[in-house]
Amino acid sequence: MRLSNSFLHSLNLDGAGDRWAALRAIMVAGVIALMFGVVTWRASVVAMGGTHEASVAEKSVHVAAQRSDIVDRNGELLATSLTIDSLAAAPQEIWDAREVAEGLATVFEDLDVDQLIARLEDPNRKFVWIRRKVSPRQRQAVYDLGLEGLRFEKEVQRIYTGGALAGHLIGFTNVDSQGIAGLELAHQDRLAAGGKPLKLTIDTGVQFALEDELKFAAEAFHVKGAAGVVIEAKTGAVRAIASWPAIDPNRPGDMTGDQRLNRAMGAVFELGSVFKPLTVAAALDAGVLRPSETFNVAQNIQIGAVTVRDRHPISSIASVTDIIVHSSNVGTVKIEQLLGLRQHKEFLDRVGLLSRPQVVYPGAAAPILPVEWDELTGATISYGHGLAVSPLALAAAYTAFANDGEMVRPRFVEPEPEDEIARTRVVSAPTARLITDMMRRTVTDGTGTRADVYGYEVGGKTGTAEKPGPDGYDPHRNICSFVSLFPTSRPEYVVLIVLDEPEALEGEGKTAALNAAPLTGRLIARIAPMLDVAPVLEKRRSTSDNSSGVRAVSDKRAL
């Protein structure tokens, strides 16, 4: 503030007293000018975002390294990182902690005022986080308060562009942008280093279709949970994998424990009759079973205190193919008895069902093995009871049948050019071909007819297993599954659907033939064109010959 000449001349400077009075007047005017300047400066600080706060923030700004993006096989963005503000405080610069805390509580309604006051008044604290990852509106509201000692620090916010799409697989990060679940955790070092995107094997279109069908299953059959897997048989590339209920990695705080459970990889189930082709394959490959052999399946089998019976008894004499096509428990147990417990167990180990799946994914569940391996154990495992495995593990085992007897290890990340595909021969090519043919017959003439999709030669096997409980197996609580290959003349993909405790549709039962099988047909009809699977010229059968899966479970949506 500059003093004008008129102001100076108005002062009476005659005499010492008058001069002192004039000097005091000048000093007062100077103080007023200084105060005015401070107020003006402070107002400009608040309006511009705080020159003083900005200088402090510059000294302590914390911006994490740019985390690599995650993309699907086609380069579609799945996860990326954006710079965002977080609110902090320098306690030594705050004169009135209560004023600051109560002011901030008007912006952040869930703020604990007393707790923040205690932290701001703690003499040992030089820095206090108040709120991480604030919105632009909250940031402006804080500026408008004009409080001292506050600063905004730049941090990185992980954004998942597809929302819940592939949420269980991708996982999520914590507030410090460190992976704590899923592939975000599995590839933490690679992603934190930045650089080129992490390219996954999944296809977002196929992934969406799988999740959409699981959601439909939840609505149609009121399932407790569901899981699905789509694997490229020749390479092990997982084109889709999903668990229902789904999770949105953008909102990890909203997830319940049930939602967090990854039923495709992190849970195990006794999957029922989908084990029967494995039992038959083991016996065929061991040379103890001929494809042309027949069995009398008219009578139940008693093993200790357990009676093995067929849900739907077939004719007294059944071929090996009949046993698979019509899902005979009795026939399967007779084949397992030819195989023997030792060879049976060795085969299960060879296809990876007795150990944790060899995948780069945290939390992949190990199987639940029998307490004792004996005659009864071998018999019940032959038709899918007594050994609990993850859906991913079972789908991986079936890649052997689609790949001329070689099982391939599943993978979620596209390989580098120098990477080799991990293959293990588990059966001979002729055995794999026989099983594939039996699976096709199961869809054309057996329990899997509702999974058939014209032009794609679907082969499959149903599985309906009672869930174990404290008082034994509960006939009212089922796990229903359907494992499939397509097209069976040149298998390219393995698809598995698992439904946990589905309810029956009106007028129908609740077996896999009536829920998981038609759901698989709907899914294959949607994804085969996306995966560029060329249709196979085949004779169209009448509706009476085949209750098409696409028609069997319908809703108002277009496929």
Q: Which of the residues are catalytic?
A: 273
Q: In whole angstroms, give the CA distance from residue 335 to residue 296.
A: 11
Q: Extract the tokens encoding 20.
A: 């002192």
Q: In whole angstroms, give the CA distance from residue 520 to residue 550.
A: 9
Amino acid at 337: Q
The total of other beta-carbon atoms located within 10 Å of residue 555's CB is 10
Q: In whole angstroms, give the CA distance from residue 166 to residue 183.
A: 11
Q: Extract the tokens encoding 42.
A: 């402070």
| DSSP state letter for 357 | -
Q: 493 in helix, strand or coil?
A: strand
Say if CB 484 and CB 458 are below 8 A apart: yes
Q: Could you give the C-alpha distances from 289 to 202, 286, 336, 434, in angstroms and in order? A: 39, 8, 10, 12
Name the one residue in this structure whose structure tokens are 């069908």: 213
Listed residue (398, 389, 451, 387) closest to 263, CA to CA = 389
Listed residue (478, 491, 559, 547) closest to 517, CA to CA = 547
Q: 97 in helix, strand or coil?
A: helix
Q: Extract the tokens encoding 135.
A: 């919105």
Starting at the edge strand found earlier in the chain, the sheet holding 459-469 runs: 238-244, 225-232, 493-500, 472-486, 459-469
| DSSP state letter for 396 | H
SS3 string, 461-489, reads EEEEEEEEECCEEEEEEEEEEEEEEECCC
Q: Which helix (H) or strand (E) holds 103?
A: helix 97-105
Q: Extract the tokens encoding 314.
A: 């077939």
* Partners of 307 in beta bridges: 302
Outline where DSSP puts E strands in 47-203: 70-71, 77-89, 128-131, 150-160, 172-173, 179-181, 198-199
Work out the end-to-end distance of the chain between its first and last CA atoms, rounded to an integer number of angstroms.
Answer: 77
Q: Extract the tokens encoding 260.
A: 């967090």
Q: Could you give the C-alpha distances from 61 to 132, 134, 135, 154, 237, in angstroms and in order? A: 13, 15, 18, 6, 41
